[in-house]
């Protein structure tokens, strides 16, 4: 398909002698088509060309020839250059392309490149709480989208399965394990045992020492302690898997923190040789003040033990050697901004090829908040994802019962709608913003929600079910689809692949979420304004064909976000 952005960038680049790629970055798609199909804000070049944007726009416009087959017209408005494309040729190409592609928007631009995505990473023996929902959903969407674009993607679940807390948990279990039935809600029980022993250890030095001893034994591979630790881990993983099954999460590696426990020595050795590892109050640290980070990175505590950062450094070494990655993403909340800033700086001292340190990227996100009073927090103040998902599914079921009591397979539909609503809500706003977890709002079929997209999809299904067979693409459709409602949809369909690419440039799945809302809205307008199944066979075929394209794209896009589409609802 013609890549208009590229075409336009080529022309501007020729006219200005500025790098084409640089130009392409600035090309925008105006909100209102009156301002063209593409637009180039010339103020971006004002500094380089030392001229006012209005003049730049005029000079470029004079140098560019318009040919009727792709770009039909150019005009200058203020400092903007607006480009109008030849709609007929464009529509023909888009519609034809969709008919040829089994999986829409699939491409191979990522071929030969490897992307690591470190996401979800809950801590074992602790509840999978709401903060981990967001990393699981954002990471999962990125995983699907990169794959779709042809990248080799490795999803890593870097479990929090190591640390002195396990020495405590083992001690607690030794003392009170027989009071608890770990076959039911094991994580709650382990969390309770942990709380008890933690309280006791804070008062009693002897207990604390016993905990430390357990951890030492665990580190040295003691059989009993290792067996317990493994049991805690297995119990946790079984619980986590239930959530992953609901969300459709997939991981290629489960190497957690414990996997790196015996790999931190090498990190320390390498850092020692650089001379940058210095003593400070008994601990060993790397000072980062020259890099503008005022808090040093602790590598070894004063008692000699390593910390979270040390294991993350060992993981960087291991991942560079094992995967030869191009990008290595870490999806966590912004609470860990400092941690990643620190370790990405220290990683530069590990002697790795620059490619690997340049490829490190922290994909941070905002907090999830509950609308106060609206949701039961169950026991204590911990809101568990399992409860949130189940509450949402239950609510979805009630709505479906009301709207469509005769629907078959209501439970499955409620699951798709409920989980889809949660996934979409996590991805609908740009990731740095805080999110409100409001079940009523996220299940609003008319709002900018997951269910709205599913509902629009179901509508397209019901239109398609009225005809015997989706007609093949025919060039004559183009003139039948020249109303603004249809043209708007065609343009959105064209933008699908670019939308996916934009997601990967900014690690921002909300770009796709917004796109799907726009497409669903555009279809709703088209549907309200145009009779799709009607008496004119030719028009009907063209409109049904367009409906089919929307159907395919909505499904493809929603699935890339991790949602499942119901056929009916």
Binding residues for ligand ARG, per CB under 6 A?
118, 121, 123, 158, 160, 312, 330, 332
Nearest approach in angstroms of CB 365 to ligand ARG is 12
**Smaller CB distance to ligand ARG: residue 134 or 487?**
134
Provide, rounded to whole angstroms, the least separation between the CB of residue 27 and ligand ARG: 35
Nearer to ligand ARG, 80 or 330 (CB): 330
Shortest Å distance, C-beta 161 to ligand ARG:
9
- Cα distances (Å, whole numbers) of residue 348 to 265, 295, 343, 344, 520: 17, 17, 9, 7, 46
Q: Which lies closer to ligand ARG via its Cβ, residue 160 or residue 418?
A: 160
d(Cα 548, Cα 127) in Å, to the nearest integer?
43
Q: Which is nearer to ligand ARG, 44 or 157 (CB)?
A: 157
In the complex with ligand ARG, which residue's Cβ is closer, 330 or 477? 330
Structure tokens at 85: 């494309």
Nearer to ligand ARG, 344 or 473 (CB): 344
**CB nearer to ligand ARG: pick between 233 and 491:** 233
Question: Residue 481 in contact with residue 431, Cβ under 8 Å?
Answer: no
Residue 165 Cβ vs ligand ARG, minimum distance, rounded to whole Å: 12
CB 117, min distance to ligand ARG, A: 10
Paired strand residues for 136 = none
User: Is 181 in contact with 145 (CB distance < 8 Å)?
Assistant: no
Q: Which residues contact 308 (CB under 8 A, 6 or more apart)?
A: 163, 257, 339
CA dihedral 132, 135, 139, 140 (to 10 degrees): 40
Q: How many whole angstroms separate alpha carbon 111 and alpha carbon 114? A: 8
- Burial label for 288, CB within 10 Å (0-12, 13-18, 19+), is middle
Query: Least separation, in Å, of the C-beta of 142 and ligand ARG?
Result: 14
User: Tokens for 446?
Assistant: 């008319």
Q: Which is nearer to ligand ARG, 259 or 515 (CB)?
A: 259
β partners of residue 286: 277, 297
Q: Which is nearer to ligand ARG, 175 or 263 (CB)?
A: 263
Instruction: Quote the least distance from Cβ 118 to ligand ARG, whole Å.
Output: 5
Q: Nearest distance from residue 323's CB to ligand ARG, in Å?
A: 14
- Smallest distance, Å, CB 343 to ligand ARG? 8
Strand order in the sheet with 283-286: 277-280, 283-286, 297-300
Closest CB to ligand ARG among 79 and 256? 256
Whole-number minimum distance, CB 133 to ligand ARG, in Å?
12
DSSP calls for 301-363: -TTS-B-HHHHHHHHHHHHHHHH--SEEEEEEEGGGHHHHHHHHHHHTTTT--HHHHHTEEEE
Looking at the Cβ atoms of 160 and 562, the one nearer to ligand ARG is 160
C-alpha angle 486/489/490, rounded to 5°? 90
Q: What is the DSSP letter of 564?
A: -
Residue 307 CB, nearest approach to ligand ARG (Å): 11
Phi/psi region, residue 22 (left: phi>0; alpha: psi -120 to 50; beta: rest), is: alpha
Which DSSP letter does residue 28 get?
B
Neighbours of 567 (CB within 10 A): 14
């Amino acid at each position: 398909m013609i890549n208009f952005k590229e075409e336009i960038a080529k022309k501007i680049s020729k006219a200005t002698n500025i790098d084409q790629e640089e130009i392409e970055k600035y090309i925008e798609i105006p909100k209102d088509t009156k301002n063209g199909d593409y637009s180039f804000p010339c103020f971006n070049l004002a500094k380089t060309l030392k001229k006012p944007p209005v003049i730049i726009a005029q000079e470029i416009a004079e140098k560019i020839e318009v040919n009727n087959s792709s770009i039909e017209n150019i005009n200058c408005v203020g400092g903007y250059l607006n480009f109008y494309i030849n709609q007929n040729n464009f529509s023909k190409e888009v519609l034809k392309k969709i008919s040829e592609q089994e999986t829409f928007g699939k491409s191979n631009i990522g071929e030969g490149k490897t992307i690591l995505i470190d996401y979800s990473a809950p801590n074992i023996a602790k509840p999978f709480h709401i903060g981990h929902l967001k990393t699981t959903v954002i990471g999962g969407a990125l995983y699907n989208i990169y794959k779709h674009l042809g990248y080799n993607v490795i999803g890593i679940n870097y479990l929090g399965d190591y640390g002195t807390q396990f020495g405590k948990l083992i001690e607690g279990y030794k003392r009170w394990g027989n009071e608890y039935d770990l076959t039911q809600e094991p994580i709650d029980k382990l969390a309770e045992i942990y709380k008890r022993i933690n309280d006791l250890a804070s008062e009693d030095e002897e207990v604390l020492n016993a905990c430390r001893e357990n951890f030492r034994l665990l580190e040295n591979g003691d059989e009993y302690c290792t067996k317990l630790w493994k049991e805690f881990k297995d119990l946790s993983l079984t619980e986590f898997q239930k959530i992953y099954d609901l969300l459709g999460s997939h991981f290629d590696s489960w190497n957690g923190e414990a996997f790196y426990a015996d790999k931190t020595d090498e990190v320390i050795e390498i850092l020692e040789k650089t001379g940058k590892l210095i003593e400070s109050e008994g601990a060993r640290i790397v000072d980062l003040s020259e890099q503008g980070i005022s808090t040093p990175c602790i590598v070894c505590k004063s008692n000699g033990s390593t910390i979270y950062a040390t294991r993350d450094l060992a993981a960087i070494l291991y991942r560079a050697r094992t995967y030869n990655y191009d990008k290595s993403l870490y999806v966590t909340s912004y609470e860990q901004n400092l941690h990643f800033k620190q370790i990405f700086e220290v990683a530069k001292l590990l002697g790795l090829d620059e490619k690997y340190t340049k490829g490190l990227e922290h994909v941070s996100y905002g907090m999830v908040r509950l609308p106060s009073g609206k949701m039961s927090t169950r026991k204590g103040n911990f809101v568990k994802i399992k409860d949130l998902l189940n509450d949402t599914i239950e609510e979805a079921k009630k709505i479906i019962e009301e709207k469509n009591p005769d629907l078959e397979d209501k439970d499955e539909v409620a699951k798709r709608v409920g989980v889809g609503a949660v996934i979409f809500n996590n991805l609908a706003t740009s990731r740095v913003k805080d999110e409100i977890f409001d079940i009523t709002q996220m299940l609003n079929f008319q709002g900018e929600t997951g269910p709205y997209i599913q509902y629009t999809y179901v509508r397209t299904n019901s239109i398609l079910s009225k005809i015997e067979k989706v007609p093949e693409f025919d060039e004559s459709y183009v003139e039948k689809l020249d109303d603004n409602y249809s043209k708007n949809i065609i343009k959105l369909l064209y933008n699908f692949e670019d939308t996916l690419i934009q997601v990967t440039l900014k690690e921002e799945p909300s770009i796709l979420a917004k796109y799907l809302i726009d497409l669903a809205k555009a279809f709703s307008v088209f549907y309200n304004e145009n009779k799709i199944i009607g008496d004119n066979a030719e028009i009907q075929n063209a409109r049904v064909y367009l409906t089919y394209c929307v159907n395919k794209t909505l499904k493809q896009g929603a699935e890339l976000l991790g949602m499942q589409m119901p056929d009916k609802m």
